[in-house]
Amino acid sequence: MTKNETVYLTGFMGAGKTTSGKLLAEKLNISFKDLDVLIQEQTGKTIPDIFAEEGEKGFREREYEALKMVSGSEAVVATGGGIVETPEARDLLSKSCCFYLSVPFEELFERIEGDETRPIALLEKPKLQKRYEKRLPFYESCGKTIDCASLTPDQLSEELVKILQDARSSCGK
Ligand SMILES: Nc1ncnc2c1ncn2[C@@H]1O[C@H](COP(=O)(O)OP(=O)(O)O)[C@@H](O)[C@H]1O
Ligand SMILES: O=C(O)C1=C[C@@H](OP(=O)(O)O)[C@@H](O)[C@H](O)C1
Ligand SMILES: [Mg+2]
């Protein structure tokens, strides 16, 4: 990891980007930024309100703007699970230090089922699984895959610290 590098975490809803990202930033002693939090601060609206008022398309535009704003800062950035649906965001992430937190769908579903703070999580299960499958190749192409199924947030963040410390080039991609 080089100085001023932005470390991005991607993966489906529930993968632990927010939870493990905070721990990783603490361990690296750099700041932590969560795109969903930034968007809510900038708009003064909740994520469900933005989806209701501006649609998913409006939310994606705001999400990409937030991504560009944080890029280049020395920070761990938790993205939202749908960021890879925006081609320009994929382009930015694939050129950056980015990790894909990979967790099987069934485990994710248990973590997020019925979560009203995540509008996409309220889709019927087969539709949600389709989203997951559609996004998989995008996650894989943007970041280094970390198999997190059996890792606690602490173990996961520790694993990322090791990879970042060992990496001679940007995050070992
Ligand atoms: N490694 C993990 N093992 C088990 N549960 C986890 C893990 N990481 C996160 N969780 C739980 O899953 C839910 C979603 O976590 P969160 O960090 O918000 O995910 P994301 O930001 O990727 O959507 C939370 O209830 C959190 O406590
Ligand atoms: O997968 C998605 O489309 C979304 C994921 C959410 O972030 P998390 O992945 O942190 O839940 C949030 O950006 C929004 O609800 C949409
Ligand atoms: Mg999150």
> How confident is the model over 22-71, as pLDDT tens digits?
999 999 999 999 999 999 999 999 999 999 999 999 999 999 999 999 99
Distances (CA, A) of 172 to 64, 71, 111, 162, 168: 25, 19, 29, 11, 7
Domain topology for 6-164 = Rossmann fold (3.40.50)
Q: Is 131 labelled as part of a ligand binding site?
A: no
Residue 60 marked as a ligand binder: yes
The kind and range of the H/E element at 31 are strand 31-34
pTM of the full predicted structure?
A: 0.97
Using the mean position of ligand 2's atoms as its centre, give its distance from the Cα of residue 65 in Å: 15
Whether residue 134 is predicted with pLDDT greater than 70 in this model: the reply is yes
| Residues 6+ away with beta carbon under 8 Å from 167 | 1
Domain boundaries, the chain: 6-164
Note the pLDDT tens digit of each residue in 62-106.
999 999 999 999 999 999 999 999 999 999 999 999 999 999 999
What ipTM does the predicted assembly reach?
0.99
CB 24 within 8 A of CB 76: yes
Spell out which residues have Cβ within 5 A of ligand 3, the ion. 17-18
